Every structure is written in structure tokens, then in C-alpha cells.
Structure 1
Amino acid sequence: MTGSSLARMLDVFDVAPAGAGRSAFTGGSDGGGRRVADGSQLLAQCVVAASKTFPGRTVRSAHALFVAVADPAQPLEFAVAPVREGRSFASATIAVGQGGRTCATCTVLLDRPGPDVVRHDAWTGPAPAGPGAAHPVDMPMRGREIRIEDVRDYGDPDEVGPPVIDAWVRYEAVPERDDLRRALLAHFTGHLAISTTMRAHPGIGTAQAHDTVSTAVMGIAVHFHEPVRWDGWVRYHHESVYAGAGMSHVRGQIVTGDGRLLASFTQDGMIRAFEPRGQAMPAASRL
């Protein structure tokens, strides 16, 4: 068991202003005992940094690219560059730096949600059996529970099936702050996408990552749908729609237990063989 906890992770998401302005923030990391910070953690922190830069607006989408490994033992810097700040919509780019180099970039769209003209939502997943019939997963973080439908070991190279994973996630408490709820939803989008892709291929799984294959999360895009509120379990539906040329593409949806769509996301991941001499190709954000 690592020292990771829900309370600690929410504290990590809550980046602090750096100086008197509103466009620079600092933050830490929780590597969960590893020597790399998850890209989805950086994405979540960017959601909060953008929300603090534009108070009164909500983040509607965030698109992050992870270009270098972030060391969880070192502080992170978030430089927010506003692109446009109109009466309703605002946008910004965020550079995440560490030790004088850029680790990630993120483009964020915010707005003031308006009244419905039309409304519908749709999710593409199969009818779920529900968390009660799903298999518990050991991803140590106190205050978080995870169960996966029809998959006993998501990283097992010998557990083969369709490139789909439905993961139920429940937190002991849901934050009151809107920006932290969005950050919390964004955080888990980086955890299972590459495993979803590998599941369709016998003899390869994320249990081999960083051993016989090199994997990395290269980019995540998340789109939030209003209202971003929930109680109890939420389901992350992952579907890998492409794998090839050393990359994978996964799309997903985050759905409440009663079927309401909270957010949609995509992830681009790297899946490549180790180079000769046992040297891995550069990885931006390891699982």
C-alpha cells in the first residue's frame, strides 16, 4: 500500500497561485510510489489552474499533450496564457514545466453555461451489469474503490477479449468545489486506456509495460457535460478503436450509475518495443 489517498490527491490538484498575478501556479505530485507523475494528474491540475484564472466560468474541455516525464519529487509550474476572454467563453493554453523544461501543454475552453435550447445525451456502452457484479481492482488509493466488469486482471497478457473495459469508480467523498470535481473525473481517464487496447491481443498486457514493451500516455482530451455532479458509482467506458504504428487510440465516456453522461474523453497512447540494448524509447507519462 502506498501513501496515496483521495484527500492527498485532491490537495495535489489544488494548485496554488505563484506571485501576485492570476496566470502562474505551482503544484506537487503524488506518484503513488513511482518515479513518474501521471499525465492525467497534470491534466487535472490544468483544469484547476484554468478555473482559478477565470473565476466564474467552468471548464468545458481540456486537451493535454505530455511531452516529457515529470518527476513527482520536484515541484511543477503552471503558466497560463489566456487566448481569449469574452463575455461568456474564455480559452487559454497552459505550459506545465519542471526544472526549466516543458513536461506538458494543455488547451482549455471555459464558459458560463447557458439555459437549454435542446438537450440529449447518449453513451455507446453495452447495458452494464453494475458494480455489484464487477471484479474488485487493486489500485491503491485510500478513499477510492474500483471494480471492472468481466475482467479479472486488466494487465494479464493471457486474459483476452474485446478491446473494451468498463470500470466502476467510487470515492468516499465527492468534492463540493466544481473545479475539483472536474479534476477528479479527469484524473482516472489516464489509467486504463492502454490496457483496453492490449486486451484484444493475446500475449501482451500492461503487466509487461516497462519490461518487454514501452508504453506511455501521450495525450488526453476530456469534454465535460453539464451538470458535473454525481453520487456513488460512476462508470468509465473505454473502447479502443485503433491500434497500429506503435500507437493506440481509445475513446471513452463517464456515466453515472443511473445512466447520465458526465463527460467524454479520448486518449492517445504509445505501445512500442524496447530498442536494442534494453533501452526504452522516450516516454512522456507512464502508466
Structure 2
Amino acid sequence: MSTTSRDHGLPSFDPVRLFDLERISPTRFVGHGPGNAPSSHLYGGQIVAQALAAAQRSVGERHCHSLHAYFLAAGSPRRPLTFDVEILRDGGRFSIRRVRVGQDDRHLCDITASFHSGDASGANVEHQLVTMPHSSTPEELVELSALPIHDEGCGLSGELVLARNFEQIDVRLIEPDALRHQVPSGRRLMWTRLRGVPQDANITLGQQCLTYLSDYLVAGTGKLPHPAEYRLPLFGATSLDHAVWFHKPWRASDWVLFEQYTTFAAEGRAMVRGNMWSRDGEFLASVVQEVLFRSLR
């Protein structure tokens, strides 16, 4: 018997089904959204994660180590997407794929992903010189969607509305009250996970889920150092591109600590970055995105 989401009676989110694309030809796939999209705009994390899933179908046992996406046009969450995979390289240890994402007659996104078969050099070079930030455990924190909106004009109101719309993502903000105001450091920290992931998820599904999560709230990070009213809907942020580097395999059913921060903004654009950590402190992935700001007044 199918379950329903807690508040709105919508069908449960199924990440396995979301990334199980329909194959139309050896290099062409069709994907659909989760079926309960609350917005008229397609979530960028879904586009990139499904494109990765399409590319993965052609590389055998190799796993993605980096992907780069350029967003070209907005899409609808209620229309199917097409993913056309181009084989750019199949070498001794690396495979590279380019994926064109379309919807109806629109070209939405171009994605390049590189896959690696692992280290065969015998050098055994490995280090991690960054440390996971200290934080409470996710079990000690309240779900973002359950926090009250005391003031619709506060800096956190947009995130609260988004969390209630994206029920498939469980988010636990570290120090959420601080985010109701201007954040001079330009940083925020959260635990996050994708609901419905099976306990036995493999590396491939783990990378798809991590990619899906990697776009969540990232664009708005560029507004954090500025007055809280910049984070209201009247001041928009659009992702121009998105890049992910995968460092370590991950149990996709577990929590990820997502550290987000902005480094620079000028000419109407901002650079935002993210570090993703496993519960035991392993550095899972690096995320970089450039964001376009615009006034919606």
C-alpha cells in the first residue's frame, strides 16, 4: 500500500523511480518529475541529477567524479524531460559524457560529466585537509518545515515556504534563528537528506541523490551578507550554472551536513560554494554555483 506525505496527502516521493529513466534509444532517455511539484519552475537539482542518471547508463562500472551544468532556460515540473547523451570519450580510465536536456521544443540545460574507474597507479595518494564543522546531530534539531513563520518579512521566511513545498527533502538548519537576520559571514549550515531512499542504495544512486540535494537553497546563499529583505521574493536569484565534484562514496539513506557559503558578488552575480559531509566527517562532495540576482519589483 502506498504511503502519503505528512501534510498534504500527496504520493510519497520515490527517488529510485525518479532516476529510473525510460530508455527511448541507446543514447536518449525520458524522465518525469515527482508528480507533486508545488511550483511552476522545474527544480535545477532534479534536472542535473536525472542528466547524471542518463549519463551513468552508458559508462558501466565507472563512477562520476565531476559534473558541470549550464542552465539555459526554465522548465515546467509537469512536463517530461528528454536527455540526449553524447559519448565524448572512453579511455583507459576515464569516460566523458555530454547530456542535452530538453522539454518539448526547448533546450533547458547542457551537462558534462566525467567518470573514473579508480586509482590504478599504485601511488595511494590520499589526504583530507579540511574538517567538518562542529554541529548538533540532526536528531537534536527541528525540521525546517516545522518552524513557525513569525514574520513574513524576516530573512528565513522564503526558506520556510520552500521547505514546506519540497517535502521530499528533510532539512535541519543549524541556528535557524540567526538566519532570520543579516548574516555577515555569508555562511549557513544544515543537515539534509532525501526521503524514501532504500537502505541498500548503491554508489550510483548515492551520487544521484547527492546531486539532487546539492542545488537546494544554494542560490539564496549569495544574499546572506546583505539585509534580510534581500531574501524576500521581490529579489530573485537564478542559478546560471552548477558544478559538483564527488570525493567519496556515500550511503544515500543517511544524513549529509551541507555547509554553504558565498565568496564574492558584483555585477549582479554572486559565487556560492558548498561542502557536503557524511555523518562521520568524510568529505563527500564540493559544490560551486554562479547566481544571477535581479529585482522583481
TM-score category of the 2 structures, normalised to the smaller one: 0.7 to 0.9
**Would the alpha carbon gap of residues 120 and 230 (structure 1) be closer, same or farther in structure 2, given more than 3 Å must change?**
farther
Q: Quick one: which of 111, 122, 125 aligns to 1:118?
A: 125
Q: Please name the residue that 2:226 is paired with.
A: 201
Matched-pair contact (CA < 8 Å) for 1:217–1:269: yes
Q: Which amino acid aligns with 2:204?
A: D
**Would the alpha carbon gap of residues 45 and 242 (structure 1) be closer, same or farther in structure 2, given more than 3 Å must change?**
same
Q: Distance in 2 between matches of 1:244 and 1:63?
A: 22
Identical-residue share of aligned pairs (%)? 25
Q: Deviations over 1:51-83 (max 9, x none)?
A: 102122111111111110111111111011111
**Secondary structure of the structure 2 residue equivalent to 1:190:** coil
Q: Deviations over 1:173-209 (max 9, x none)?
A: 5442322211111111212223322121113343x22
Q: Which amino acid aligns with 2:125?
A: V
Q: Deviations over 1:65-115 (max 9, x none)?
A: 111011111111101111111122100111101112210000100121225
Q: Quick one: which of 27, 39, 49 aligns to 2:44?
A: 39
Matched-pair contact (CA < 8 Å) for 2:273–2:288: yes
Q: How does 1:1-287 map to 2 (within 5 A)?
A: 1=7, 3=10, 5-7=12-14, 9-19=15-25, 21=26, 23-30=27-34, 32-114=37-119, 117-123=124-130, 126-138=133-145, 139-140=163-164, 141=166, 144-152=169-177, 154=179, 156=180, 158-171=181-194, 174-175=197-198, 176-206=201-231, 208-209=232-233, 212-229=234-251, 232-274=254-296
Matched-pair contact (CA < 8 Å) for 2:68–2:241: yes
Q: Which amino acid aligns with 1:215?
A: A
Q: How many residues align?
A: 267
TM-score by length of 1: 0.84
**Would the alpha carbon gap of residues 142 and 201 (structure 1) be closer, same or farther in structure 2, given more than 3 Å must change?**
closer
Matched-pair contact (CA < 8 Å) for 1:143–1:171: yes
The structural deviation recorded for 1:127 is: 2.5
**Would the alpha carbon gap of residues 272 and 17 (structure 1) be closer, same or farther in structure 2, given more than 3 Å must change?**
same
Matched-pair contact (CA < 8 Å) for 2:131–2:281: no
**Secondary structure of the structure 1 residue equivalent to 2:111:** strand
TM-score by length of 2: 0.81
> Where does structure 1 lack aligned partners over 5 or more consecutive residues?
279-287
Q: Which amino acid aligns with 1:178?
A: I
The structural deviation recorded for 1:152 is: 3.2
Q: Distance in 2 between matches of 1:117 and 1:76?
A: 41
Aligned residues: CA RMSD: 2.3
